[in-house]
């Protein structure tokens, strides 16, 4: 029984433990947005008026370290979520197989997302139950080699997506130029991420979503400056 997202968690193939591909678009975009916001906050703490070579080096290393830490935490949390979901799905499948017909119906219906539960009837649920009875359960380890590769992919995605923010500090010693370039890159990436988010959400005008995200970034940069950046 291949599931879909339910109440904030991803329901995988209950019996086999398979799941959808690495991160859906909203997850990818969200990770990029969060990483950008954190990076620009750290970079924004560097004041142009007082920035020296040592200060620039410190901020650069802090931003890079922040991106690496964010990617690592995200990758670890992905493994934890995958392990938890797969264990939950196996336990749910075992309960369904050991239950009487009426109880199995209730368990399956409860596992479906609300928008799917509204449109399926007894016939569809019975089909899911029969399909589950036909599936062969595997005793594979909860975490598999592919899971580790996907976690590494998440780490790389987060780091690469936010690395451009600190590039100006690596190629110029002019603090003012580096800060302005970094902020411009951040706003541009927020704009593009906003457009991607708008397209995924099927907004009529995804360009507006991009503008909103860029404006949000500009407000954040202004707020950091006002607080002493």
Non-local CB neighbours of 72 within 8 Å, separated by 6+ positions: 155
Phi/psi for 84 (5° steps) reads: -65, -45
Cα–Cα distance between 87 and 52 in angstroms, integer?
Answer: 52
What does the angle CA 195 – CA 197 – CA 203 come to, to the nearest 5 degrees?
A: 80
- State residue 222's pLDDT score: 81
pTM for this structure? 0.67
Residues 148-180 have pLDDT tens digits of: 888 888 888 888 877 888 888 788 777 778 878
Q: Distance from CA of residue 64 to its chain's centroid?
A: 19
- State residue 67's pLDDT score: 76
Low-confidence spans in the chain with pLDDT less than 50: 1-19, 48-49
Angle (deg, nearest 10), helices 175-200 and 53-98? 20
Q: Can you give the residue ranges of every domain in the chain?
A: 5-226
Dump the DSSP string for 165-200.
Answer: GTHHHHH---HHHHHHHHHHHHHHHHHHHHHHHHHH
> Considering the chain, what is the average pLDDT of its residues?
76
């Amino acid at each position: 029984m291949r599931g879909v997202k339910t109440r904030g968690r991803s329901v995988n193939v209950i019996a086999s433990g398979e799941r959808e591909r690495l991160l859906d678009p909203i997850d990818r975009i969200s990770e990029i947005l969060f990483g950008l916001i954190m990076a620009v906050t750290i970079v924004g703490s560097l004041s142009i008026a007082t920035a020296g070579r040592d200060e620039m080096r410190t901020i650069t290393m802090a931003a890079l370290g922040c991106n690496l830490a964010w990617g690592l935490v995200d990758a670890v949390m992905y493994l934890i979520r995958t392990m938890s979901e797969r264990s939950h799905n196996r336990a749910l499948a075992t309960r369904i197989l050991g239950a009487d017909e009426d109880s199995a119906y209730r368990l399956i219906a409860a596992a479906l997302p609300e928008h799917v539960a509204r449109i399926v009837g007894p016939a569809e649920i019975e089909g899911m139950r029969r399909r589950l009875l036909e599936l062969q359960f595997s005793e594979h380890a909860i975490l598999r080699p592919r899971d580790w590769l996907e976690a590494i992919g998440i780490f790389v995605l987060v780091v690469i997506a936010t690395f451009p923010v600190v590039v100006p500090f690596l190629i110029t010693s002019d603090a003012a130029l580096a800060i302005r370039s970094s902020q411009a890159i951040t706003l541009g990436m927020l704009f593009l991420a906003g457009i991607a988010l708008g397209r995924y959400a099927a907004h009529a005008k995804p360009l507006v979503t991009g503008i909103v995200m860029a404006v949000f970034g500009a407000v954040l940069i202004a707020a950091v400056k006002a607080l002493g950046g």
